Structure 1
Protein backbone atom coordinates (compact mmCIF):
# COMPACT_ATOMS: atom_id res chain seq x y z
CA UNK A 1 0.00 0.00 0.00
CA UNK A 2 1.22 3.48 -0.83
CA UNK A 3 2.12 5.13 2.48
CA UNK A 4 1.00 8.53 1.15
CA UNK A 5 -2.60 7.29 1.25
CA UNK A 6 -2.48 7.00 5.05
CA UNK A 7 -0.46 10.15 5.71
CA UNK A 8 -1.89 13.55 6.55
CA UNK A 9 -2.72 15.50 3.41
CA UNK A 10 -0.14 18.22 2.70
CA UNK A 11 -2.87 20.87 2.30
CA UNK A 12 -3.72 20.67 6.01
CA UNK A 13 -7.50 20.29 5.62
CA UNK A 14 -9.24 19.40 8.90
CA UNK A 15 -12.33 17.28 9.49
CA UNK A 16 -15.32 18.34 11.60
CA UNK A 17 -13.46 17.36 14.78
CA UNK A 18 -10.46 19.53 13.77
CA UNK A 19 -8.29 16.50 12.95
CA UNK A 20 -6.12 16.52 9.82
CA UNK A 21 -7.55 14.56 6.90
CA UNK A 22 -5.39 11.88 5.33
CA UNK A 23 -4.34 12.25 1.72
CA UNK A 24 -6.81 9.69 0.37
CA UNK A 25 -9.79 11.40 2.03
CA UNK A 26 -8.65 14.85 0.90
CA UNK A 27 -6.62 15.82 -2.18
CA UNK A 28 -5.93 12.19 -3.04
CA UNK A 29 -9.47 12.06 -4.42
CA UNK A 30 -8.50 14.50 -7.16
CA UNK A 31 -4.81 14.34 -8.04
CA UNK A 32 -4.61 10.89 -9.61
CA UNK A 33 -8.20 11.07 -10.91
CA UNK A 34 -8.49 14.63 -12.22
CA UNK A 35 -10.11 13.51 -15.48
CA UNK A 36 -12.93 11.62 -13.75
CA UNK A 37 -13.14 13.36 -10.37
CA UNK A 38 -12.47 17.10 -10.63
CA UNK A 39 -12.28 19.29 -7.53
CA UNK A 40 -15.86 20.39 -6.72
CA UNK A 41 -15.06 24.05 -6.02
CA UNK A 42 -12.27 26.62 -6.22
CA UNK A 43 -11.22 26.11 -2.60
CA UNK A 44 -10.77 22.35 -3.09
CA UNK A 45 -8.87 23.05 -6.31
CA UNK A 46 -6.59 25.51 -4.49
CA UNK A 47 -5.83 22.92 -1.81
CA UNK A 48 -5.24 20.17 -4.35
CA UNK A 49 -2.92 22.40 -6.40
CA UNK A 50 -0.88 23.16 -3.28
CA UNK A 51 -0.64 19.40 -2.66
CA UNK A 52 0.39 18.91 -6.30
CA UNK A 53 3.23 21.41 -5.80
CA UNK A 54 4.35 19.52 -2.69
CA UNK A 55 4.30 16.23 -4.64
CA UNK A 56 5.67 17.83 -7.84
CA UNK A 57 2.73 16.55 -9.85
CA UNK A 58 3.17 18.43 -13.14
CA UNK A 59 0.34 16.73 -15.05
CA UNK A 60 -2.23 17.74 -12.41
CA UNK A 61 -0.99 21.31 -12.17
CA UNK A 62 -1.01 21.80 -15.93
CA UNK A 63 -4.42 20.12 -16.35
CA UNK A 64 -6.00 22.39 -13.73
CA UNK A 65 -4.45 25.60 -15.11
CA UNK A 66 -6.82 27.51 -17.39
CA UNK A 67 -5.76 27.10 -21.03
CA UNK A 68 -5.53 30.89 -21.53
CA UNK A 69 -2.84 31.18 -18.84
CA UNK A 70 -1.25 27.70 -18.78
CA UNK A 71 2.53 27.74 -19.19
CA UNK A 72 4.07 25.48 -21.83
CA UNK A 73 6.22 23.84 -19.19
CA UNK A 74 6.51 23.87 -15.47
CA UNK A 75 9.67 23.63 -13.40
CA UNK A 76 9.85 23.14 -9.66
CA UNK A 77 12.24 24.97 -7.39
CA UNK A 78 15.03 22.52 -6.60
CA UNK A 79 15.13 21.34 -2.99
CA UNK A 80 12.04 23.32 -1.98
CA UNK A 81 10.47 21.93 1.19
CA UNK A 82 6.84 22.93 1.55
CA UNK A 83 5.88 23.77 5.13
CA UNK A 84 2.18 24.56 5.08
CA UNK A 85 -0.85 26.21 3.58
CA UNK A 86 -3.18 28.71 5.22
CA UNK A 87 -6.38 29.77 3.48
CA UNK A 88 -7.13 33.38 4.36
CA UNK A 89 -10.39 33.88 2.48
CA UNK A 90 -12.66 32.37 -0.12
CA UNK A 91 -15.35 34.07 -2.12
CA UNK A 92 -17.64 33.54 -5.08
CA UNK A 93 -17.12 36.43 -7.48
CA UNK A 94 -19.54 35.38 -10.21
CA UNK A 95 -21.65 32.49 -11.43
CA UNK A 96 -18.54 30.65 -12.61
CA UNK A 97 -15.79 32.57 -10.83
CA UNK A 98 -14.19 32.56 -7.39
CA UNK A 99 -11.18 33.86 -5.49
CA UNK A 100 -9.07 32.19 -2.84
CA UNK A 101 -6.52 34.11 -0.79
CA UNK A 102 -3.81 31.97 0.72
CA UNK A 103 -0.37 31.92 2.25
CA UNK A 104 1.92 29.01 1.37
CA UNK A 105 5.21 28.62 3.18
CA UNK A 106 8.28 26.75 2.04
CA UNK A 107 11.99 26.59 2.65
CA UNK A 108 14.54 26.80 -0.14
CA UNK A 109 18.29 27.09 0.12
CA UNK A 110 18.07 27.47 3.87
CA UNK A 111 15.73 30.45 3.78
CA UNK A 112 12.02 30.61 4.47
CA UNK A 113 9.69 31.89 1.78
CA UNK A 114 6.13 33.10 2.29
CA UNK A 115 3.98 33.11 -0.85
CA UNK A 116 0.85 35.25 -0.31
CA UNK A 117 -1.53 35.27 -3.25
CA UNK A 118 -5.12 36.06 -4.15
CA UNK A 119 -5.89 33.48 -6.82
CA UNK A 120 -8.69 33.67 -9.36
CA UNK A 121 -10.52 30.57 -10.54
CA UNK A 122 -13.06 29.99 -13.29
CA UNK A 123 -15.46 27.13 -13.96
CA UNK A 124 -15.90 25.86 -17.49
CA UNK A 125 -17.95 22.82 -18.47
CA UNK A 126 -18.37 21.92 -14.79
CA UNK A 127 -14.62 22.00 -14.00
CA UNK A 128 -12.74 24.58 -11.96
CA UNK A 129 -9.43 25.96 -13.27
CA UNK A 130 -6.76 28.20 -11.79
CA UNK A 131 -6.71 31.38 -13.88
CA UNK A 132 -4.14 33.68 -12.28
CA UNK A 133 -3.12 35.33 -9.06
CA UNK A 134 -1.87 38.57 -7.59
CA UNK A 135 -0.01 39.53 -4.45
CA UNK A 136 -2.31 41.48 -2.12
Structure 2
Protein backbone atom coordinates (compact mmCIF):
# COMPACT_ATOMS: atom_id res chain seq x y z
CA UNK A 1 0.00 0.00 0.00
CA UNK A 2 1.36 3.40 -0.99
CA UNK A 3 1.29 6.14 1.64
CA UNK A 4 0.57 9.79 0.99
CA UNK A 5 4.23 10.49 1.76
CA UNK A 6 5.31 7.95 -0.90
CA UNK A 7 3.07 9.67 -3.45
CA UNK A 8 4.48 13.12 -2.67
CA UNK A 9 8.07 11.84 -2.78
CA UNK A 10 7.33 10.20 -6.15
CA UNK A 11 5.83 13.53 -7.35
CA UNK A 12 9.00 15.46 -6.48
CA UNK A 13 11.27 12.71 -7.82
CA UNK A 14 9.43 12.63 -11.17
CA UNK A 15 9.49 16.42 -11.31
CA UNK A 16 13.24 16.61 -10.68
CA UNK A 17 13.88 13.83 -13.23
CA UNK A 18 11.63 15.57 -15.79
CA UNK A 19 9.84 12.22 -16.07
CA UNK A 20 6.60 13.80 -17.22
CA UNK A 21 4.94 10.49 -18.04
CA UNK A 22 5.39 9.23 -14.47
CA UNK A 23 4.54 12.69 -13.10
CA UNK A 24 1.21 12.65 -14.96
CA UNK A 25 0.24 9.26 -13.50
CA UNK A 26 0.38 10.75 -9.99
CA UNK A 27 -2.19 13.47 -10.81
CA UNK A 28 -5.98 13.28 -10.86
CA UNK A 29 -7.52 14.34 -14.19
CA UNK A 30 -9.33 17.25 -12.52
CA UNK A 31 -6.50 18.29 -10.19
CA UNK A 32 -6.13 21.94 -9.15
CA UNK A 33 -2.86 23.79 -8.46
CA UNK A 34 -3.00 26.98 -6.35
CA UNK A 35 -0.30 29.66 -6.05
CA UNK A 36 -1.76 32.05 -3.43
CA UNK A 37 1.13 34.53 -3.59
CA UNK A 38 0.63 35.23 -7.29
CA UNK A 39 -3.12 34.53 -7.20
CA UNK A 40 -2.78 31.92 -9.97
CA UNK A 41 -4.73 28.70 -10.36
CA UNK A 42 -4.24 25.89 -12.85
CA UNK A 43 -7.09 23.44 -13.45
CA UNK A 44 -6.59 19.98 -14.88
CA UNK A 45 -3.77 17.48 -15.24
CA UNK A 46 -2.95 18.44 -18.84
CA UNK A 47 -2.56 22.15 -18.05
CA UNK A 48 -0.51 21.48 -14.90
CA UNK A 49 1.72 19.05 -16.75
CA UNK A 50 2.34 21.61 -19.50
CA UNK A 51 3.00 24.33 -16.88
CA UNK A 52 5.81 22.19 -15.44
CA UNK A 53 7.17 21.04 -18.80
CA UNK A 54 7.44 24.64 -20.01
CA UNK A 55 8.85 26.14 -16.79
CA UNK A 56 11.95 28.10 -17.85
CA UNK A 57 15.51 27.63 -16.70
CA UNK A 58 17.66 24.81 -15.44
CA UNK A 59 15.96 24.28 -12.09
CA UNK A 60 16.52 21.49 -9.59
CA UNK A 61 14.66 20.35 -6.50
CA UNK A 62 15.82 18.87 -3.19
CA UNK A 63 13.29 17.49 -0.73
CA UNK A 64 13.90 18.46 2.88
CA UNK A 65 10.81 16.95 4.48
CA UNK A 66 7.48 15.29 3.68
CA UNK A 67 4.86 14.52 6.27
CA UNK A 68 1.31 13.33 5.91
CA UNK A 69 -1.60 11.35 7.17
CA UNK A 70 -4.50 9.77 5.38
CA UNK A 71 -4.95 11.67 2.12
CA UNK A 72 -3.18 14.92 3.09
CA UNK A 73 0.51 15.80 3.13
CA UNK A 74 2.89 18.73 3.31
CA UNK A 75 6.37 19.03 1.87
CA UNK A 76 9.31 21.37 2.21
CA UNK A 77 11.58 21.53 -0.82
CA UNK A 78 14.38 23.77 -1.98
CA UNK A 79 14.50 24.81 -5.60
CA UNK A 80 17.73 25.94 -7.22
CA UNK A 81 17.48 28.08 -10.34
CA UNK A 82 20.55 29.76 -11.81
CA UNK A 83 22.42 29.16 -8.56
CA UNK A 84 19.76 30.79 -6.39
CA UNK A 85 18.07 28.61 -3.77
CA UNK A 86 14.49 29.21 -2.77
CA UNK A 87 12.43 27.21 -0.27
CA UNK A 88 8.86 26.13 -0.94
CA UNK A 89 6.10 24.64 1.16
CA UNK A 90 3.43 22.60 -0.58
CA UNK A 91 0.18 21.12 0.70
CA UNK A 92 -1.29 18.09 -1.07
CA UNK A 93 -4.73 16.51 -1.05
CA UNK A 94 -5.17 13.09 -2.64
CA UNK A 95 -8.36 11.65 -4.10
CA UNK A 96 -9.88 8.27 -3.20
CA UNK A 97 -7.66 6.55 -5.81
CA UNK A 98 -4.49 7.99 -4.21
CA UNK A 99 -3.80 10.52 -6.97
CA UNK A 100 -2.96 14.16 -6.26
CA UNK A 101 -6.17 16.20 -6.45
CA UNK A 102 -5.10 19.59 -5.02
CA UNK A 103 -1.71 21.26 -4.56
CA UNK A 104 -1.38 24.58 -2.77
CA UNK A 105 2.15 25.92 -2.96
CA UNK A 106 3.99 28.80 -1.30
CA UNK A 107 7.32 30.10 -2.63
CA UNK A 108 8.32 32.73 -0.06
CA UNK A 109 11.05 35.21 -0.80
CA UNK A 110 13.71 35.32 1.93
CA UNK A 111 14.00 38.66 3.68
CA UNK A 112 15.98 40.25 6.47
CA UNK A 113 14.21 40.33 9.83
CA UNK A 114 13.26 43.63 11.43
CA UNK A 115 15.63 45.16 13.98
CA UNK A 116 15.01 44.87 17.68
CA UNK A 117 14.89 41.15 18.31
CA UNK A 118 18.56 40.27 17.96
CA UNK A 119 18.75 39.47 21.68
CA UNK A 120 16.12 36.73 21.23
CA UNK A 121 17.18 34.97 18.04
CA UNK A 122 20.13 33.27 16.41
CA UNK A 123 20.67 33.49 12.65
CA UNK A 124 21.43 30.38 10.61
CA UNK A 125 22.17 29.31 7.03
CA UNK A 126 19.28 28.45 4.67
CA UNK A 127 17.34 25.18 4.66
CA UNK A 128 19.17 22.23 6.18
CA UNK A 129 19.74 19.19 3.98
What's the TM-score, normalizing by structure 1? Answer: 0.49
Matches within 5 A, 1:1-16: none
SS of equivalent residue, structure 2 residue 62: strand
For structure 2, the 5+ residue unaligned runs are 33-44, 109-129
CA shift for structure 1 position 76: 4.4
Whole-Å Cα distance in 2 between the matches of residues 119 and 129 of structure 1? Answer: 12
The RMSD of aligned alpha carbons is 2.9
Partner SS for 1:127:
coil
| Largest Rg, 1 or 2 | 2
The alpha-carbon distance between structure 1 residues 88 and 54, as it changes in their structure 2 partners (threshold 3 A), is closer
Taking a change above 3 Å as real, the CA distance of residues 134 and 81 of structure 1, as seen in their structure-2 partners, is: closer
Match of 2:80 in 1: 106
**Hey, what does 1:87 align to over in structure 2?**
64
Q: How many Å apart are 1:59 and its aligned residue?
A: 1.8
| Between structures 1 and 2, the one with greater strand share | 2
Q: Structure 2: how far apart are the matches of 1:114 and 1:71?
A: 28
Partner Cα distance (1:97, 1:60) in 2: 20
Higher RCO (Cα < 8 Å, 6 or more apart): 2
- Which residue in 2 is equivalent to 1:119? 90
Which of 92, 100, 117 aligns to 1:129? It is 100
Q: CA offset at residue 71 of structure 1?
A: 4.4
SS for the counterpart of 2:31 is: coil
Answer yes or no: is 1:54 the counterpart of 2:16.
Answer: yes
Separation in 1 of the partners of 2:98 and 2:16?
Answer: 22
Residues 5-45 of structure 1: CA distance to partner in whole angstroms, max 9, x if unpaired? xxxxxxxxxxxxxxxxxxxxxxxxxxxxxxxxxx8223222
